[in-house]
Structure 1
Amino acid sequence: MNAREMTAQEHTQTALEFLDASDREFAAGERLQASEKLYGAATHIVTAIAQQRAWQYRSHRAMKNAVFRLEQEHNDPLILAGFLAAEDFHKNFFHNDMEEYEIEQERPVVHRFVSRMLALINETASTDSDRAGKETAP
């Protein structure tokens, strides 16, 4: 059993792996698994950014709150829209009730969401390393 918690970097890597896996599974016609992997990519990237910022993330509510907080911080309504699209795929995993056109419209929304979160992670990491360099400078 793995008792240690995944790091933000591991969550980020998992998000990217799930994103790729979802594309392969959709291409193979595996809608249920592809849907859950797409949702998993979104939740892993939110977990990564929440960990990085020392925010709560251990419940669905905490993750949704983190997404809302990011939307407010960046004045970007597409952040919440991306997470809500990911939630549609989570529901689809259980009910397989998304129409093809919905899948085709919402998949890119989730991809953009993950990319946007990755950019925020990298931006924060860059800012943190800049601060650390200034703190240790003579």
Structure 2
Amino acid sequence: MSCQEPDQYQFPVLEDGFTPNEIDELFSLLQSEPPVHSTSGSQTIHSDNSVEETRKRKRMISNRESARRTRWRKKKQLENLIVEVNRLKIVNQELKNRLCTIEHERHFVLRESNELIVESLHLQQNLVVLYDILQSMQL
């Protein structure tokens, strides 16, 4: 069973991945032959320039990818903060609703308590009157 390599492999382009131009640059860097070092001064300079050029391109691509990752992280962080703000708004509204319900219950209990106090005072007055009547009957 023989295994043949395809002529050119097509990498899928991710949403936050390399652009097609950057992929082409990377392939050209990987497929380019290593510079030939000779004793000729002009070829050595050309070779050094090519190596320096290659390093610059790699650095540029690396910097772009790093910036892309940084933007992605900031975007995710912002999305997470927005989700958290929305969650906290919901929690805040629920707490406000609970507070409102408790306030209504408190007002109801206070009104009921005041009514019971008034009723208690009336009963005490009636008790005093009845006690006076009882006292007068025993004499």
Give the TM-score of the pair, scaled to structure 2.
0.35
Larger Rg: 2
Give the TM-score of the pair, scaled to structure 1.
0.36
Between 1 and 2, higher relative CO (CA 8 Å, sep ≥ 6) is seen in: 1
